[in-house]
Chain A
Amino acid sequence: MEFSPDTPWQKVLDAVRRWARINSPWAIHYNSGSCNGCDIEILATLTPRYDLERFGVKLQGSPRHADILICTGPVTRQSRERLLRIYEQMPDPKFVVAVGSCGLSGGAFRGCYNIVGDISEVVPVDVFIPGCPPRPEAIIFGMVKLLESLKKGKAEVATVSEGAHA
């Protein structure tokens, strides 16, 4: 049976898929050269006090199951290929959240010889979350921004300002 994008059946499928994506996005976490600070804050975001899972966000292992790539740190020369590979393995539509100052600009490591640059130089980024490291509240805010933009039907680029979580 062939599916064309305009059949009513396909429209229903699309609606179900979008509903599922917004209510339970699965995330994959990759550290492309960060100092760990952002990683432990992402992990803290998943634990009881902040509990990101209440938005349906689930951290899991395989890029092939993931909708959102949460990436931390500047991109080092060695992890560049790996980051690209993970991004390419993810099924469409996929979204990238860059966490931390290093992911935005290279941060404190800008100018070190083994740094390719920030994450947006390697893969397209949808949400930038600044901070060194960002507070868990800021990470939650960033994820909610992303989910809101998904509700509107497209992922527009959003920047979480530092004051927004206060």
Chain B
Amino acid sequence: METQRKFIVPIGPQHPALKEPGHFQFTVDGEIVTDASVRLGYVHRGIEKGAENRNWTQNLYLFERICGICSHVHATALAIGVERLAGVQAPPRAQAIRILMAELERIHSHLLWLGVAAHEGGFDTLFMYSWRDREIVMDLLESLSGNRVNYSVNLIGGVKFDVEDKHRDAILRGLDTLEERTRHYLNVVTTDRTFLARTRGVGTMSRNQAELFGTVGPTARASGVARDVRVDAPYEAYTLFPVNLVTDEGGDLMARFVVRTKELFESYRLIREILDHLPSGELTVRVPRKIPAGETVSRVEAPRGELFYFIKSNGGEKPERIKVRTPSLCNWASVMQVAVGHKLADMPMILSGIDPCFSCNDRMVLINRGSSSQVWSWDELRRYGIEYYKKL
């Protein structure tokens, strides 16, 4: 007898796999996933609206706390945009320190991801090792900025601290160890047979699909899409220190592991180059408290992909509007499509394959007064978005 009833496995928002709240519904046929949907919004805090009540300097701290993993790039994107509106530019040394921190942050984020993704695959040994080694870069970040997370490097018009010789030596020493370890990890993720069984050919996304879904960052680069803001539209000191693009044609989970691990080597190279050719000079320029009216767009490459800021000022001490589009949000559509046809057991790996970060992609909340809260599916939300923009 044919039955029309579907079996839906709900996961989350509190679940052992990911450390952040997100709710997933997988429709399964036996063990094979036939449909997947995601419900976001548990971490929506209303930062964009909150920004309108805070002045530019306060916002720097607020926006740094959009995401604790890639906090520095958020503050950098805001600072670059506001500086552009104010018609000033950070001094060369400050620009170099900004991208130095951004690359250190990329190392910490990629090592974090490597561990978490391995953990989802049941490879806890790799999780523990990569997090042990991650402490090296956390120490470097702490010795530079004084905090392990949320470094507060940026000011509008420059950076807060200088990189001295003692820091330089410590960073170079740390990088040597990390490089050796990363070579080992690259070896593990490409040769370990058990691990390859979980990653090779799983969650494959072709180049066409990657472009169609609008993926960004390492997720897109693992499908052969050559897209990186640091290369396409170099900002700050990336014009002086060009980045070599890392891509892979595989498109599967293994390719994502390889791309992120190889990006680590690129970051090591870049940091060494920055330290060797650190421009001298001032760290800050003076920026007026009131930012001239105008609007601008600022794009930076976060560890997870392109981070986009739209900033509008009305000439006052506070912003008129700040709109943030974070990379994780762009990648969600792809993962929900790619999930179809895989086993339920592969879901944690596929989900973590895009390096999801909920705290930065929770966009909206719908509060219906008088009735229980309404849940919108991805399709409904998409339709609403299309209708909304048609009306404009």
Contacts and interface: CB of A to CB of B under 8 A. Distances in A.
Given A34-B68, A40-B112, A43-B19, A115 B46 contact: yes
Contacts of B61: 108
B15 A61 contact: yes
A88 to B, nearest CB: 13
Contacts of B160: none
A10 interface: no
A161 interface: no
A36 B44 contact: no
A111 interface: yes
A157 interface: no
A113 B50 contact: yes
Q: How large is the interface on A (under 10, 10 to 19, 20 to 34, 35 or more residues)?
A: 35 or more
15 contacts: A31-B359, A36-B19, A36-B69, A38-B68, A49-B135, A60-B16, A61-B15, A74-B45, A79-B21, A79-B43, A82-B14, A108-B62, A113-B46, A132-B65, A133-B150
A33 B45 contact: yes
B138 A33 contact: no
Nearest to A110: B50
Nearest to A107: B65
Contacts of A38: 68
Nearest to B51: A112
B132 A40 contact: no
Contact of B41 (A37, A60, A78): A78
Interface in A19-45: 28-44
B148 A135 contact: yes
Contact of A109 (B65, B132, B138, B357): B65
A33 to B, nearest CB: 5
Nearest to A89: B14
B46 A48 contact: no
Given A36-B359, A78-B44, 16 more contacts: A31-B43, A32-B42, A35-B66, A40-B149, A44-B131, A61-B16, A76-B44, A76-B365, A77-B367, A78-B41, A82-B21, A109-B65, A111-B53, A113-B46, A133-B149, A133-B150
